[in-house]
Amino acid sequence: MRTSVAIIGAGPAGLLLARLLQRSGIESVVLESRSREHVEHRQRAGILEHGTVEVLRACGAGDRLDREGLVHEGIELRFGGTGHRIDLAALTGGRRVVVYAQTEVVRDLVALRVESGAPLLFEAEALAVEDVDSERPRVRYRHDGAERLLEADYVVGADGFHGIARRCVPAGRIRTRERTYPFAWLGVLADVAPSTDELIYAQHERGFALHSMRGPEVSRLYLQVPPETDLADWPDARIWEELDLRLAVDGGWRLRRGPITDRSVTPMRSFVAEPLRCGRLLLAGDAAHIVPPTGAKGLNLAVADVALLARALDAALLRGDPGALESYSDTALRRVWRAEDFSCAMTAMLHADPDGDEFSRRLQRSRLDYAVSSTAAATALAENYAGLPSDAVP
């Protein structure tokens, strides 16, 4: 089989890239190792920056998002028994975020692709990317029990952190930088109306907690837990009790409880591969970088990558101008490193460090006090959280 762009992975990065290329009349084939059912039901993040929403709308994937997404103009930082609102919109000249699950973004993009009839192969596992330095790179993959070859002008590795694309690069051509954290997030989905209109990020000596949501009837809640946590040790009652303790606030607020329908433990890491290109192989999304989820940047970075990449491939393939492809990595990595810094800082400001001493706890409290009392500090938080416009990325 031959195509113009071979895309490995049908997460948000791969699916959106395929959609953007299709709108420019560029052919692609998407290979996804898992089933459609699996890809459409994985619980992931849920906050879309303004810029992300615009990209989705512009490629015709914004209808349900506009109907069902919840527009949020602020977030709450909760600590020391008090809630403090960060007014994202007021501090950023009107930038808002939309609460719309990544799962739904994936469903919308899969539906568009399937409807268009363009190739999207589920249960098609990429095994290797070959000949990335030639004009005809290839993906070796397994589908319907047979090994096959997909030849392309370019190959895009959008196959997530555990994918194979990054690992197929010849030794020494891509460097990686990584940081791990001494904690993970236990995330649950509960069939109960959210107990808050805006997201609550809570710092507590017992550990971080987050109250998010998936719609008017579904709450999404997270607890900081040790990385080796076994879900069997967390029956529903323990989860709710711990959330009550960490989200406690002076006054009459109470957390509503409901049946838990999904639970998982996610490790936290920061990771960047540099550069994002090796010959005719390009990396995008989680295949290239990971952020801890505290800043809600993972999905937004994936979308920013492929918006750039689609324009660059368009210029290279349709106009014979390779310039944008040559600068893709540098341009994308500037936003990536800004998000890495922000995500690290939000994580440090809100999590209980098991190795921390009293000095580090005092620093953390001072940082929180500053974030909610100084307009300058709150603005820095707000503009990073709501998402920097492309021309403001340093």
Q: Which is nearer to ligand APR, 100 or 240 (CB)?
A: 100
For residues 370 and 359, give the distance between their C-alpha atoms in angstroms, rounded to a whole number.
Answer: 17
Q: Residues 234-273 vs ligand PHB: string with x where CB under 6 A?
A: ----------------------------------------
Please give the C-alpha separations between residue 387 and each of 81, 122, 236, 314, 394, in angstroms, as whole numbers: 28, 32, 35, 25, 13
CB of 383 to ligand PHB, least distance (A): 16
Q: Which residues carry out catalysis?
A: 72, 201, 293, 297, 385
State yes or no: residue 126 binds ligand APR (CB under 6 A): yes
Interaction between residue 209 and ligand PHB (CB under 6 A)? no
Of 163 and 187, CB closest to ligand PHB: 187
Instruction: Dig out the tokens for 106 from the structure.
Output: 């994936």
HSE (side-chain half, CA atoms, 13 Å) at 378 = 18
Phi, psi of 52 (to 5 degrees): -65, -45
Stretch that binds ligand APR, among 2-10, 166-174, 211-219, 223-231 (CB under 6 A): 2-10
Q: Which of 294, 331, 347, 364 binds ligand PHB (CB under 6 A)?
A: 294
Partner from ligand PHB, ligand APR, none contacting 220, C-beta within 5 to 8 A by type: ligand PHB
The pair of structure tokens assigned to 19 is 């959609």
The yes or no reply on residue 8 touching ligand APR (CB under 6 A) is yes
- Is 220 a binding residue for ligand PHB by CB under 6 A? The answer is yes
Give the residue, chosen from 21, 56, 91, 158, that forms a contact with ligand APR under the rule CB under 6 A: 158
In the complex, the smallest distance separating the C-beta of residue 220 from ligand PHB, rounded to whole angstroms, is: 5
Q: Check binding of 219 to ligand APR (CB under 6 A).
A: no
3-state secondary structure of 78: strand
Number of residues this chain uses to bind ligand PHB (CB under 6 A): 9
Residues 6+ apart with CB under 8 A from 177: 271, 272, 274
Contact in structure between 137 and 54 (CB atoms under 8 Å): no
Measured distance CA(389)–CA(379) in Å, rounded: 14
Nearer to ligand APR (CB atom), residue 91 or residue 184: 184
Pairing of strands 175-190, 218-225: antiparallel
| Number of residues counted as binding ligand APR (CB under 6 A) | 28
In the complex, minimum distance from the CB of residue 299 to ligand PHB, in angstroms, rounded to a whole number: 9
The per-residue DSSP string of 344-380 comes to: HHHHHHHS--TT--HHHHHHHHHHHHHHHH-HHHHHH
Q: Which of 222, 337, 218 is nearest to 273 (CA)?
A: 337
294 makes contact, choosing from ligand PHB, ligand APR, none, with CB < 5 to 8 Å by partner type, with ligand PHB
- Residue 43, SS3? coil
DSSP one-letter code for 2: B
Q: How far is CA 71 from CA 49, 146, 205, 386, in A?
A: 10, 46, 31, 12
Cα end-to-end span (Å), the chain = 42
Site for ligand APR in 19-48 (CB under 6 A): 31-34, 39, 44-45
One character per residue 160-199, x = contact with ligand PHB (rule: CB under 6 A) = ---------------------------------------x
Please give the residues from 314 up to 373 whose contact with ligand PHB meets the rule CB under 6 A.
none
Q: Which residues bind ligand PHB (CB under 6 A)?
A: 45-47, 199, 212, 220, 293-294, 296
Q: Which residues bind ligand APR (CB under 6 A)?
A: 8-14, 31-34, 39, 44-45, 102, 125-126, 158-160, 163-164, 285-287, 298-299, 302
